[in-house]
């Protein structure tokens, strides 16, 4: 299913996020790199017009040059993920698309939803088709695209508990602090606060399936990361220390774009690859 979902960020989005997060203007980047203003402007518009210039821009923005070049060349996307116990639902929101996830214990058929997207009927219909009882709804954060259909999803579940981080509480939910633990049947869920994109952004680390899973919300995307709307430095640090230290085989379930893995992001994400080479 992830094969039909486009990569969320192009290379120009990565450049723009790093410039904003590191408070570097185009003029300052021209001075730092020696790249002409015209070439830099074209790169920032998404024209892969000068590879040596892109390498200099990557270095100045603390991005991995090889990974940024791969992004600009469109030669990488994460391997498709197909595993019993997890499905992705990708719905439109304005000019983008957003993900929600259904994760369940195949032994007990008890399940949980992570975010709602804009049309939760896809998730609830699939749960009904498979015979999964959705007993919990976990919010990664409370930006509207991620909780747009919360009321409808809640109404389709007979008995369901809703959860949000105490740093970013949502009305009608039970709140938790970092390191809280939950269960989905025999699956174990542990919470990490991965703030930066939002105040209480949460990563849910789930063990008990064939491979571990981390539902990361907008903390990270395949080949990129969420915008540091609250704090870029906190977002980068939390991603580096709380997500990319999970086992390499961990499946990452992001709020936008296709599923990926810790190992693939350590090798191919321009924001982090240099840390792991």
For the chain, 277 residues long, give each residue's pLDDT as a single digit of tens. 444 899 999 999 999 999 999 999 999 999 999 999 999 999 999 999 999 999 999 999 999 999 999 999 999 999 999 999 999 999 999 999 999 999 999 999 999 999 999 999 999 999 999 999 999 999 999 999 999 999 999 999 989 999 999 999 999 999 999 999 999 999 999 999 999 999 999 999 999 999 999 999 999 999 999 999 999 999 999 999 999 999 999 999 999 999 999 999 999 999 999 998 8
In 62-120, which ranges are continuous DSSP H helix?
65-73
The CATH T-level fold of domain 78-276 is: Metallo-beta-lactamase; Chain A (3.60.15)
Region 4-73: CATH code: 1.10.260.40
Domain segments of the chain: what residues?
A: 4-73, 78-276
Closest CA to 8 of 133, 98, 143, 139: 98
Confidence at residue 180, expressed as pLDDT on a 0 to 100 scale: 98
Confidence at residue 1, expressed as pLDDT on a 0 to 100 scale: 41
- The token pair at 209 is 């399936």
Q: What are phi and psi of 19, to 5 degrees?
A: -60, -45
Confidence at residue 4, expressed as pLDDT on a 0 to 100 scale: 81
Q: What are phi and psi of 133, to 5 degrees?
A: -95, 110
Closest CA to 127 of 160, 103, 143, 108: 103
DSSP state at residue 2: G
Confidence at residue 2, expressed as pLDDT on a 0 to 100 scale: 41
Confidence at residue 33, expressed as pLDDT on a 0 to 100 scale: 98
DSSP state at residue 250: P
Q: Residues 6 or more apart from 180 whose CB is under 8 A from it?
A: 190, 191
The region that residue 35 occupies, defined by phi over 0 for left and psi between -120 and 50 for alpha, beta otherwise, is beta
Confidence at residue 158, expressed as pLDDT on a 0 to 100 scale: 87
Q: Please provide the distance, in angstroms rounded to a whole number, between the alpha carbons at the two ends of the chain.
A: 30
pTM: 0.97
Q: How far apart are CA 272 and CA 68, in angstroms?
A: 11
Residue 198's alpha-carbon distances to 11, 17, 236, in angstroms, are: 23, 15, 13
């Amino acid at each position: 299913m992830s094969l039909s979902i486009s990569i969320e960020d192009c290379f120009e989005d990565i450049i723009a996020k790093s410039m904003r997060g590191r408070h570097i203007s185009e003029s300052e980047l021209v001075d730092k790199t020696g790249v002409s203003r015209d070439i830099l402007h074209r790169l920032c518009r998404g024209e892969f017009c000068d590879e040596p210039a892109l390498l200099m821009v990557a270095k100045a923005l603390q991005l991995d040059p090889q990974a940024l070049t791969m992004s600009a060349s469109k030669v990488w996307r994460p391997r498709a993920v197909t595993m019993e116990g997890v499905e992705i639902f990708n719905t439109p929101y304005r000019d983008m698309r957003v993900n929600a996830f259904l994760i369940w214990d195949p032994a007990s058929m008890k399940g949980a939803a992570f975010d709602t997207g804009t049309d939760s009927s896809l998730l609830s219909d699939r749960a009904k088709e498979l015979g999964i009882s959705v007993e919990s709804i976990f919010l990664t954060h409370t930006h509207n695209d991620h909780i747009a259909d919360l009321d409808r999803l809640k109404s389709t579940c007979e008995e369901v508990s809703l959860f949000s981080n105490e740093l970013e509480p949502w009305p009608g939910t039970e709140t938790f602090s970092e390191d809280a633990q939950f269960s989905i049947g025999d699956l174990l869920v542990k919470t990490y606060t991965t703030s930066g994109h939002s105040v209480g952004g949460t990563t849910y680390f789930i063990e008990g399936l064939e491979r571990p899973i981390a539902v990361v919300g907008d903390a990270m995307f395949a080949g990129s990361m969420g915008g540091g709307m609250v704090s870029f430095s906190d977002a980068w640090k939390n991603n580096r220390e709380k997500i990319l230290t999970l086992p390499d085989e961990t499946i990452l379930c992001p709020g936008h774009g296709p599923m990926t893995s810790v190992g693939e992001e350590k090798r191919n994400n321009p924001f982090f690859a240099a840390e792991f080479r």
